[in-house]
Amino acid sequence: MEKLTKKEASLALQEKIKDLIISRKMKPGDLMPTESELIDLLGVGRSSLRESIKSLEALHILDIHHGIGTFVGTSSLVPMIRGLTFYAQLHLQDSLKPILDILDVREILQYGFAPIAVQKISIDEVKELQRLVRLMEKKASEGLFSIQEEYEIHLLMYQPVENHLLSQYLDAFFQIYQKLDSELPKIQVSPTMLAMQYRELVDAVEEKNLERVQRAILYYFQTIRQSLTKGK
């Protein structure tokens, strides 16, 4: 059998640790076996085990509390955000395609989940959406963009879907844009125009008019896409 490289051996050990978590039906926050127990269970050396545990901590699969123990992590999308951000930064000098690709995925998700969101959204959630849009309109009248309100509207609108992964993805996409903001072309849409688009979207949600909602979603992403390419 061909000998594994150090990197391959580390990745293989990480998979064994993940398999152990799954086979024992462990949940986020559960205490992992001690270092000595893992060495015996997995048949590995102490230094190799520590290296793999540190790698899994970076992926949020494990959570190390020094002096207490190692716990099963939450497996958040933070590593994905870091990877996508670096990927986009690496290629932004030559092309906007990486950020446009990310935008495409976000558009497909929001358009596709719109029927469930519109059907399940509550009166209280609609009231909060309306409050956020009014705040956007107020800021727009002062020539200001409303990044935080935009973020909250998108998350709140899809909260009724009750899909934790979708919420994490939407949150991740906004974080990526925030991190890349200084490197992206200057947006070519005025605060007033953007506020008008959100007004149309939220009014359509309140009306529970799915066709109007999806049309507003498509128009919003078309505007952002055109703004990015024109501003380059």
Are both 56 and 132 inside the same structural domain? no
Residue 2's pLDDT is 61
Of the candidates 217, 77, 84, which has an alpha carbon nearest to the alpha carbon of residue 153? 217
Residue type, 33: P
Give the per-residue pLDDT at 74.
85
Instruction: Note whether 16 and 65 are same-domain residues.
Output: yes
Give me the pLDDT at residue 230, please: 75
The domain that contains 55 carries what CATH number? 1.10.10.10
Asked if residue 22 and residue 95 are part of one domain, the reply reads no
Answer yes or no: do 20 and 130 share one domain: no
Residues 55 and 95 in one domain: no
Predicted pLDDT at 232: 57
Are residues 199 and 219 both part of a single domain? yes
pLDDT at 231: 58
| 8 Å CB contact between 178 and 87 | no
pLDDT of residue 171: 87
| Per-residue tens of pLDDT for the chain, all 232 residues | 467 788 888 999 999 999 999 999 999 999 999 999 999 999 999 999 999 999 999 888 999 998 899 999 987 777 877 888 888 888 777 788 888 888 999 999 999 999 999 999 999 999 999 999 999 999 999 999 888 999 999 999 999 999 988 988 888 888 888 878 777 777 778 999 999 999 999 999 999 999 999 999 999 999 988 888 875 5
Q: For residue 168, what pLDDT is reported?
A: 85
CB 197 within 8 A of CB 61: no
State whether 82 and 67 are in the same domain: no
Within this chain, do residues 156 and 204 fall inside the same structural domain, yes or no? yes
Are 83 and 190 part of one and the same domain?
yes
Helix (H, G, I), strand (E, B) or coil at 71: strand
Residues 86 and 35 in one domain: no
Report if pTM > 0.75. yes
Domain boundary among 53, 72, 91: 72
Give the C-alpha separation, 37 to 215, whole Å: 57
Total Cβ atoms within 10 A of residue 213: 25
pLDDT of residue 136: 96
State residue 50's pLDDT score.
94
Range of the domain at 19: 6-72
| Residue 1 belongs to some domain of the structure | no
pLDDT value of residue 179: 79
Query: Which helix or strand (DSSP H or E) is residue 163 part of?
Result: none
Do 105 and 66 share a structural domain? no
Domain count, the chain: 2
Q: What's the pLDDT at 18? A: 95
Q: Domain with 180 in it: what CATH number?
A: 1.20.120.530
